[in-house]
Structure 1
Amino acid sequence: MDESSTRHPMTGNEMSGAAEGGTERHTYDVVVVGAGGAGLRAAIAAHEAGARTAVVCKSLLGKAHTVMAEGGIAAAMGNRWPEDGWEVHFRDTMRGGKMLNHWRMAQLHAQEAPERVMELEDWGALFDRTEDGLISQRDFGGHKYARLAHVGDRTGLEMIRTLQQRTVALGIDVFMECTVTDVFKQDGVVSGALAYWRETGRFVVFDTPTVVLATGGIGKSFKVTSNSWEYTGDGHALAMRTGASLINMEFVQFHPTGMVWPPSVKGLLVTESVRGDGGILRNSEGERFMFDYIPEYFRAETADTVEEADAWYEDKKSNRRPPELLPRDEVARAINSEIKAGRGTPHGGIYLDIASRRSPEFIRKRLPSMYHQFKELADVDITREPMEIGPTCHYVMGGVEVDPDTQESAVTGLYAVGECSGGMHGSNRLGGNSLGDLLVFGKRAGESASAHAAGLGARRPQVDEDHVRAARASALAPFEVEGGENPYSIQADLQQSMNDLVGIIRTGPELQEALRAIEALKVRAASMKVEGHRQYNPGWHLALDLRNMLVVSEAVARAALAREESRGGHTRDDFPGPDPAWGTRNLVVRLDAAGTGVELHEQPLPVMPDELQQYFESK
């Protein structure tokens, strides 16, 4: 397991080691972990603020879950509806999150998203246009007005393309296929990070006073998910091990529409744009069932009849929206109920039908990715027949607890942004708010990190070499185990347990069983055995990922057990309705004193100022 030579970021040129044991070493002002929309926007902001900036990404530049956000960027630009404004978007976001959102984050997001969209266009993003040449905006669930700026159904891909191009043009260093395993502190503040090259296994030390976590979600802890292999809760776990806390971890969003057939693509996302552009949901009996699941608090603005819903699609002057465009948690629970009642499709889903509603030309123009996805992967022509879909683990509302204005965690110098941060979405995220979230808070995090680094001067914290040696030894420990267990079997059992016991519908006894299962898996993981060498070793990579997946899964299950109500993305069969008492507090988790378990405490919601409260009292 000798240290081999390594490559320069981006160029691939050979570099020699510069620290003990040949470990590669770099010095930056800001290190961003993750190269999705949030990470790239943070890196651009930090660089433009004058910081020496690097991006470290587990996979390849441009390979991020951001591309799965196909529908658009929610921003109250008023291009379709002049009545729309940040106040309406703020209210929709808070209501979608069942008022557990941090009001300041929802406010900043609603106010700044339009400017961030225009900025993206200035950098070369090619948005669809209205008849008047403005950026087109489409309807999405939970939004009162059509406000999602879009590029067909490939908006996330266009965002990544644009941000990636600007990152490269600015000359920001990017360490691809490089995984961060530890964040270091000196006297309680961030001093650096340890990573390793996935190709060679060689370690890298980053001397930096600021780390921005932008690692995305936790979906690979679940068996059925739209998430890619990278989404193992790395940022969540890194933050906890560094001393930060997580908030709202019980709230996991199961996107209503993932592919259910063939098995090789089960869980792959089917964009909400299909419903936004006229698609309807039917059960196996042909019934358009969503009319039976309209919550009372949406009754006034949701169509009660097929005729009202059809009129809305053709003439959107009405505020009575189709029930297919209810918030995602409502739609996912309705679909789950139909399947459990025996009205599911042959492959265990329900039908999403746009073929009977729109012309083939309209579908191929507005939904080109969906057309090709189903045609190539499932041999289904969505211009002629319905899709079989079902709920899939898609997004975690919970994440690192951060300051709303700066995105800094409780640990000085440690920031979090995007899906691995918490507070913005409360108990449920509205579709389209994720991309705006990435842009708005990515910029704020990058600027804040740069300002912190610039203010240190000669007081920059130093990496303790004993911490580096300990972190290296911990990462290499699986190679030293004799007769241990294969990490793949542990991952499979974790995914099955989370899928069965901490899924879309939960109960107290099942959550307790999940926690016992996770404890048993932690014991098994302590003696994981990795075969072979550090080069090209996916088993070793998974062994390191599992440490993160287990602690984050425990955080989700423990918070879900504590919250004895149903709200947003968290549904308890034994507590089927929302409880007003629970509507006044959040749950916060952190590592216990031993660093081996998760402890939980309650925290009151931040008080919303009167000038914002008025938007709810009069509506």
Structure 2
Amino acid sequence: MQRNGFGYEEVATDALIIGAGAAGLRAAIELAESGVRPLVLGKRRHGDAHTIWAAGGINASLGTRDPEDRWEIHAADTIREGHFVNDPRAVELLARNAPDRIRELAGWGCGFSRTEDGELDQRYFGAQSYRRTCFAGDETGEAILSTLVAKARELGVPYRENVYVTKILTDQERAVGAAGYDMESGRYLVFRAPAVVMAAGGLTALYARSSSRPDENTGDAVALAYEAGAALRDMEFVQFHPTGMVKPEELSGELVTEAVRGEGGRLLNARGERFMERYSPEHLELDARDVVARANYAEIQTGRGTEDGAVLLDISHRSPEYIRERLPRMYRQFKKVGVDITREPMEVAPTAHYAMGGVEVDFGTGATTLPGLFAIGEATAGLHGANRLGGNSLAETVVFGELTGRYLAEYLRDAPRPALPRRAVEDHLEALDSLADSGGGHDPQELIEELRSIMWDHAGIVRTGEGIRAGLDRLAGLERRAGSAAAEGAGSRSFELANNLRFMLVAAEAVLRSALARRESRGAHFREDAPEESAGWQKNIICEKGNHGEMLLRTEPVGEIPAEIQAALAEEHSLEYHHLE
């Protein structure tokens, strides 16, 4: 189709799902089984979504190993770990529905590890009261995604790979589709749909050290939603996983799964001291991720780390056979770089791992504050509060993928079939053309690296008000230079990076402004100049786009915790580390 000199392909679909990981695929499966034909867009080849990097496990109160576990305790652990700023309804929905979703995955052929009796096995994860994390060795995400891809193919779910979405299209009142381009050909693409679902992941690639692949989790989902008019929430809460690789340089930040600690791995400093005895004598290595990450950071900062700026994670007291069976991916990952984890420790350091913040949604439906736009998975905010419980992210994808898909199947029966805003489409394609042929003087990759340095320095594991303000000043200067980023044509590598940078700037500003506003320490957000948790800040920060393009912040009260979860919190269940000894 030709419009005003721009050639582009126009595609109509009942539901457009942006993101081909577990959340997007589970929603697509639910729609397809309900007779709706969605279209799934992936930024990479089919089956190569970031879900495969979720290694350690998926939570559900099945009670396989610990029969006394139940959904209310799972919910209580989630809220306690989230420091009581979670969306309580989201937590209840997750904990109630996770067992059915895991049994469903198993029924579809997912290769979960089993007990001697053939039941789904479960292991400990940090800050959990019982063994409720199901797993497939330490390749759980890959096993789940492969299962979902196979199911979607069985149902004939349409899929397009190597598509970069650059804008959510609206008619001033609601989302009506999206625009983007084919990353191989550079051809512009325009999609029309009565429902648009954001399932494009998080934003941890904003940081210099991250467990994300370099060009994924660049804030696409939150920036696209925000620019279209949807609200963001909890953007200050970024989880730093305690254990990421530090060398070689090209693997710096790559995740060393929590399953290593769940199977009994011990953290040591360069002196050989098991230092978690000082920071968390009761829970040791299996305390909450924010606690362990700050302990690792403190040991390194005070000079008790290794020459490479790391601490040591040692699982070698387990038998080689046990390690190779329970941690096959970690065994292979370190073997490739000359480290045999059955004999020697791993060097690890904190790495940006997960965004608790994202698009504000109603978790029963996936609806954002912009009609017609929905969101699921790490793109959303509210479930995890100030810190995510390990093992909940994979559970989130399939629980809320199913719930949102189920709601959309009903919603789409009466939803209006929108018309595309042709002028807005043409204006956006013109902007893309200008970016593609900009010939600017700044290398977008260099600007991205500078942004990552800003975020690591000013919005990292330990923050201060002065440091955050300095970060905002540096970001403003970077944004001015980003206006003349160089690109070498639509479909080029530099064009992709320039678009990544555009999204990263929006997400970074939201993180910094929210972190400056929250004048306390809570969960993953630690302010050295306000180190205590404040009852007055038991609320959520919302980011919205103002009428003049400015970023506006406001707060909302936290919802009331249901009585069943309140009762479980009062029971004060807690992990006893000695079970691993």
TM-score when normalising by structure 2 = 0.96
**Do structure 1's residue 465 and structure 2's residue 422 form an aligned pair?**
yes
- Aligned mates of 2:568, 2:63 — CA distance in 1: 18
In 2, the alpha carbon distance for the partners of 1:120 and 1:450 equals 21
Letter in 2 for 1:603: E
Match of 2:322 in 1: 362
Q: Which amino acid aligns with 1:556?
A: V
**Which of 371, 375, 378 pairs up with 1:419?**
378
1:539 paired with 2:500, answer no
Counterpart of 2:289 in structure 1 is: 328
- 1:303-333 Cα offsets, whole Å, 9 max, x none, are 3xxxxxxxxxxxxxxxxxx410011011001
2: CA distance between counterparts of 1:336 and 1:482? 41
Give runs of aligned pairs for residues 247-396 of structure 1, distance below 5 A: 247-294=233-280, 303=282, 322-355=283-316, 357-376=317-336, 378-396=337-355
Separation in 1, partners of 2:487, 2:553: 33
Matches within 5 A, 1:568-587: 568-583=523-538, 585-587=539-541
The aligned residue for residue 617 of structure 1 is: 570
Contact 1:283 1:344 survives alignment (8 Å): yes
Query: 1:241 aligns to what?
Result: 227
Residues 475 and 544, structure 1, Cα contact 8 Å, conserved in 2:
no
1:399 aligns with 2:336: no
Matching of residues 89-100 of structure 1 within 5 Å: 89-100=74-85
- Counterpart Cα distance in 2 of 1:475 and 1:421: 27
In structure 2, give the amino acid aligned to 1:128: S
1:287 maps to a residue whose letter is E
How far is 1:483 from its partner?
4.3
1:18: Cα distance to partner?
7.3
- The one-letter code sitting in structure 1 at the alignment partner of 2:129 is K
Deviation at 1:19, TM superposition (A): 6.5
Q: Is the 8 A contact 1:233 1:548 kept in 2?
A: yes
Gaps of 5+ in 2: 573-581
**For residue 542 of structure 1, what is the amino acid of its counterpart?**
L
- Match of 1:581, SS? helix
CA–CA distance in structure 2, aligned partners of residues 397 and 572 of structure 1: 17
Q: Which of 601, 605, 616 in structure 1 is aligned with 2:554?
A: 601
Helix, strand or coil at the partner of 1:110: helix
Alignment-derived partner of residue 466 in structure 2: 509
- 1:614 Cα shift? 2.7
The alignment partner of 2:535 has SS state of: coil
Deviation, structure 1 residue 534:
2.2
SS of the residue 2:29 aligns to: helix
Q: Is residue 2:186 matched to residue 1:197?
A: no
Residue of structure 2 equivalent to 1:117: 102
Residue aligning to 2:577: none
Pick which of 51-60 and 483-492 moved more.
483-492
Q: Partner residue of 2:205?
A: 220
> Does 1:524 find its partner at 2:481?
yes
**114-123 or 447-456: which moved more?**
447-456
1:49 aligns to 2:34 (yes or no): yes
Matching residue's letter, 1:383: T
Report Cα offsets for 1:21-45 as digits up to 9, x if no partner: 4311111111100011111111111
Deviation (angstroms), 1:618: 4.2
Amino acid at match of 2:139: R
Measured after TM superposition, the shift of residue 454 of structure 1 is 1.6
- Matched residues in 1 for 2:440 and 2:146: separation? 46
Q: TM-score, normalised by structure 1?
A: 0.90
Aligned match of 2:56: 71
Deviation digits for residues 344-391 of structure 1, max 9, x if unmatched?
Answer: 012101000010x20111111111100010010x21000000000000
Q: What CA distance in whole angstroms lies between the structure 2 residues aligned with 1:23 and 1:177?
A: 16
Measure the CA separation in 2 of the matches of 1:183 and 1:96: 34
Partner AA of 1:475 in structure 2: L
CA–CA distance in structure 1, aligned partners of residues 446 and 433 of structure 2: 20
Q: Which runs of 5+ in 1 are unaligned?
A: 1-16, 295-301, 304-321
SS at match of 2:136: coil
Q: Distance in 1 between matches of 2:328 and 2:263?
A: 13
1:210 matched to 2:164: no
Query: What do the CA deviations read for 1:284-316 (whole angstroms, capped 9, x no partner)?
Result: 11111111112xxxxxxx63xxxxxxxxxxxxx
SS in 2 for 1:193: strand
Shift in alpha-carbon separation, 1:508–1:118, aligned structure 2, 3 A: same
Counterpart of 1:279, as a letter, is: G
Query: 1:190 and 1:588 mapped to 2: Cα distance?
Result: 20
Cα distance change of structure 1 residues 483 and 40 upon mapping to structure 2, 3 Å threshold: closer
- 1:206 maps to amino acid: F
TM alignment of 1:445-456, pairs within 5 A: 445-456=404-415
* Native 8 Å contact 1:54 1:172 kept in 2: yes
Residue identity (%): 44
Matched, 1:555 2:540: no
Deviations 1:39-94 (A, max 9, x none): 11111112212212000111111222211211111000011111011011000000
* Alignment: residue pair count: 570
Following the alignment from structure 1 to structure 2, what is the Cα–Cα distance between the partners of residues 452 and 423?
23
Aligned to 2:167: 182
State the secondary structure of the residue aligned to 1:428: coil
Contact 1:189/1:461 (CA < 8 Å) preserved in 2?
no
In the alignment, the residues of structure 2 paired with residue 25 and residue 481 of structure 1 have an alpha-carbon distance, to the nearest angstrom, of 25
CA distance in 1, matches of 2:45, 2:204: 19
Q: Is the 8 A contact 2:75 2:565 kept in 1?
A: no
| Distance in 1 separating the partners of 2:279 and 2:73 | 24
Q: Does 1:135 align with 2:154?
A: no
